[in-house]
């Protein structure tokens, strides 16, 4: 084999390897994005339940301990911050 044939074969093998690596990376990236979307959906559901729970506090006239009210409001505020920064991608400037 001539040097040109050897170089050409090496280049073809290298390109095929790079193509395989790119396809593997692309598949892993798609899987990660799908898992991230599922996590976002789950967090949105949890956030919605927390918001509903917080709203219910305003309608219930029972004697709810102040500590419980404070914890629910703190959880709502904390989850709102996470929702804005991680789900909606709103950054405070």
Question: Is residue 92 situated within a structural domain?
Answer: no
- For the chain, give the percent of residues with pLDDT over 90: 62
pLDDT score of 92:
60
By the 8 A CB rule, do 69 and 75 touch?
A: no
Question: Is residue 26 situated within a structural domain?
Answer: yes
Structure tokens at 15: 């390109």
Dmax (CA) of the chain: 90
Domain containing 78: what range?
Answer: 3-87
Say which residues have a Cβ less than 8 Å from residue 69's Cβ, sequence separation at least 6. 57
Question: Is residue 65 situated within a structural domain?
Answer: yes
- Per-residue confidence at 63, pLDDT binned at 50, 70, 90? confident
Q: Is-above-0.85 flag for pTM? A: no
Question: Is residue 93 situated within a structural domain?
Answer: no
Q: Minimal CA–CA distance to 69: which of 82, 80, 78, 56? A: 56
């Amino acid at each position: 084999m001539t040097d040109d044939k050897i170089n050409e074969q090496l280049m073809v093998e290298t390109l095929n390897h790079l193509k395989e690596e790119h396809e593997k990376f692309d598949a892993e990236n798609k899987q990660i994005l799908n898992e991230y979307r599922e996590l976002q959906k789950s967090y949105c559901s949890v956030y919605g339940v927390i918001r509903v729970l917080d709203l219910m506090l305003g309608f219930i006239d029972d004697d709810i301990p102040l500590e419980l009210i404070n914890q629910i409001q703190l959880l709502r505020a904390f989850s709102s911050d996470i929702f804005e920064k991680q789900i909606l991608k709103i950054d405070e400037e």
